[in-house]
Amino acid sequence: MGYDDVINYLGDFGKYQKQIYFLLCLPAISCAFHKLAGVFLLARPEFRCVLPFENNLNVTYDSFPALYWNLTYPYDAITGKFQKCEYYNVDYTTDYLESAMWPATENGTTKCSHYVYDRSKYANSAVTEWDMVCARGLLTATSDSLFMFGVLLGSIVFGQMSDKYGRKPIFFASLVIQVVFGVLAGVAPEYFTYTISRMVVGATTSGVFLVAYVIAMEMVGSSYRLFAGVAMQMFFSVGFMLTAGFAYFIHDWRWLQIALTLPGLLFMCYHWVIPESARWLLSKGRKEEAIFIIEKAAHINRVNIPSEVYDNLIEEAAEREKKEKNHSPGSAEEKAPTVFDLLRYPNLRRKTLLILFDWFVNSGVYYGLSWNTNNLGGNVLLNFMISGAVEIPGYSFLLFTLNRWGRRTILCGCMLVAGIALLLTIAVPADKNWIIITFAMVGKLAITASYGTIYIFSAEQFPTVVRNVGLGASSMVARVGGILAPYLNLLGEVWRPLPLVICGALAFLAGLLSLMLPETLNKPMPETIADGELFGKRTRNDDVAEAGGEELTRIVPQEKTNSATNGNAK
């Protein structure tokens, strides 16, 4: 008898689980603050060179007459904009500015050394404070990219530590580190300190959100896991929208960073409320602590658990502990699964590569659209708010359709819709900016639903013996997409719809390729490598049934099958 059988007595989602689940969902809001804050912390307003004749202390962006622009800044016919990173190398006398009809270009241009910014939308940002424009423009994308690199490192480090040391201590350690380095990023004196602090904060978002997600999912019954997983993502979307609210009232980037960090202090009070995962405690042989938590849950849920249930749990934990001692890591009988197990056989390799590409595209497009709101034009805060709001119907859509229409149908359909909507921005006239925003938001809604689907779909595609390895590899590839997304958004300065078009092309291609994956709804999940290789190949499955397993032996050698089944099963 396992912990799932205890859930049958406690209830799949009783009062105790609901209370703890709600508390664990709230930190997702704080994690959204940190992941989306870069849109405002690194906002790049309109700017121009400070010309030699202007007073550096008194000059403003709007103080320069519009009719002088053609006489001072070179015009780029390709982008249709003035090149504001350099100016004509001429003597800017009053006679030149007031009498010249054409710029004097014979002396070429001079690179800018000082800039002035449009303060109408942003009082300041890290970009305006450290002049991260023109030749230093890549620094903004690099900062966001390193933040996502931190998320990647955090998912590896904190994930392994939570399995070794427990969910609860890693959750609170991540919270403390997040608050400390979040405040440090707000008071950073220069770019390097700011970027490293933000990278550490990015790592802690994995320690906070993912560990809280695991605790929540490990205490919920199977009938509520779809709801619990999707609902927690909705809290992230709420944090997405609230970030715009903070930016509306706080216009100084340093105070904004600190304000978005301080809510983490409230979650430290959870230390006396949030329990350790009973599943994890049982897996580590800490039976008394696990039973104490189960009894507390039973008391709050007002149910009685028979004493023999506890006896069976203790016996099972003892057997597991004994087995782990006999099969210690590194023994001849124990062989750790690797990602190469997913690439060794043709059908499993094809499915794995398709899934990895889907993760890459979903992550890259999701963050590309989320961070691209500054390039859409119009009201930046409103665009950002809508971009977060459309995620709610996207996740709600999954609750009603995922178990009815199938995983592949939803995944492919949503990515195709996202791709088509984003590609249509090519045909939108420049003066119809609201249509571009509409298509972008339709794409965001669809890719959100797709991103929510890929988690479940992937878990059902990978064999049990390498499921954690497969999901870990998928998560790493997804982070690569997130790391590249900030550089993609820089292309919006060349042509506003370009990031949308690239995201659309990737989403459309991934949607088409996903049709090659087998449906998993109401299908048994593959357990061994052999099962994974045969899954989705109906003709071969028929051959196996008729030949009494000879085909299975041919595809996956018998010794490999035995090793996967006996040594790697978890």
Specify the 3-state DSSP secondary structure of 144: helix
b/e per residue 411-424 (b: at least 16 CB within 10 A): bbbbbbbbbbbbbb
Banded model confidence at residue 326, pLDDT cuts 50, 70, 90:
low
Report yes or no: 186 and 40 within 8 Å, Cβ to Cβ: no
Final residue of a structural domain among 298, 317, 333: 333
Report yes or no: 187 and 254 within 8 Å, Cβ to Cβ: yes
Report yes or no: 209 and 235 within 8 Å, Cβ to Cβ: no
Whether residue 340 is found in the same domain as residue 329: no
Q: What is the pLDDT of residue 321?
A: 62
Instruction: Indicate whether 196 pLDDT > 50.
Output: yes
β-pairing, 115-117 with 47-49? antiparallel
Tell me the per-residue pLDDT of 136-185, one tens digit each, with 9 for 90 and over: 999 999 999 999 999 999 988 888 888 888 889 999 999 999 999 999 99
Written as six digits, the tokens of 569 are 């099963």
Counting the structural domains of the chain, the total is 3
Written as six digits, the tokens of 149 are 């690199």
Tell me the per-residue pLDDT of 390-427, one tens digit each, with 9 for 90 and over: 999 999 999 999 889 999 999 999 999 999 999 999 99
Length of the chain, please?
A: 570
Q: What is the pLDDT of residue 122?
A: 86
Whether residue 570 is found in the same domain as residue 472: yes
Whether residue 321 is found in the same domain as residue 454: no
Final residue of a structural domain among 273, 305, 333: 333
Whether residue 36 is found in the same domain as residue 180: yes
Whether residue 310 is found in the same domain as residue 439: no
Report yes or no: 255 and 172 within 8 Å, Cβ to Cβ: no
Final residue of a structural domain among 333, 358, 375: 333
Whether residue 303 is found in the same domain as residue 348: no
Report yes or no: 260 and 34 within 8 Å, Cβ to Cβ: yes
Instruction: Indicate whether 481 pLDDT > 90.
Output: yes
Instruction: Indicate whether 558 pLDDT > 60.
Output: no
Query: Is 132 part of a structural domain of the chain?
Result: no
Whether residue 473 is found in the same domain as residue 403: yes
β-pairing, 75-76 with 81-82? antiparallel
Report yes or no: 125 and 43 within 8 Å, Cβ to Cβ: yes
Q: Is 382 exposed, middle or buried (0-12, 13-18, 19+ CB in 10 A)?
A: middle
Q: Which stretches of 206-284 are DSSP H helices?
A: 211-218, 225-249, 253-261, 264-267, 278-283
Query: Is 563 part of a structural domain of the chain?
Result: yes
Q: Which of 363, 342, 344, 343 is nearest to 476 (CA)?
A: 363
Whether residue 226 is found in the same domain as residue 371: no
Look up the domain containing 358 and give its range: 336-570
Q: What is the mean pLDDT of residues 264-281?
A: 91
Whether residue 193 is found in the same domain as residue 278: yes
Q: How far, rounded to the nearest angstrom, does the alpha carbon of residue 51 sit from its chain's CA centroid? A: 42
Instruction: Name the packing angle between helices 346-370 and 498-513 (round to 10°).
Output: 150
Selected residue with higher pLDDT from 424 and 8: 424
Q: What is the mean pLDDT of residues 57-83?
A: 82
Whether residue 515 is found in the same domain as residue 368: yes
Banded model confidence at residue 280, pLDDT cuts 50, 70, 90:
confident
Q: Is 221 exposed, middle or buried (0-12, 13-18, 19+ CB in 10 A)?
A: middle
What would the DSSP string read from start to end of 363-404? HHHHHHHHTTGGGS-S-HHHHHHHHHHTHHHHHHHHHHHHHH
Q: What is the mean pLDDT of residues 480-490?
A: 91
Out of 48-52, 62-66, 241-245, 452-456, pick the least confident. 62-66
Q: How far is CA 566 from CA 453, 531, 569, in A?
A: 31, 14, 6
Q: Output the domain CATH number for residue 283.
A: 1.20.1250.20
Whether residue 438 is found in the same domain as residue 566: yes
Whether residue 452 is found in the same domain as residue 341: yes
Written as six digits, the tokens of 302 are 């007002």
Report yes or no: 236 and 208 within 8 Å, Cβ to Cβ: no
Query: Is 264 part of a structural domain of the chain?
Result: yes
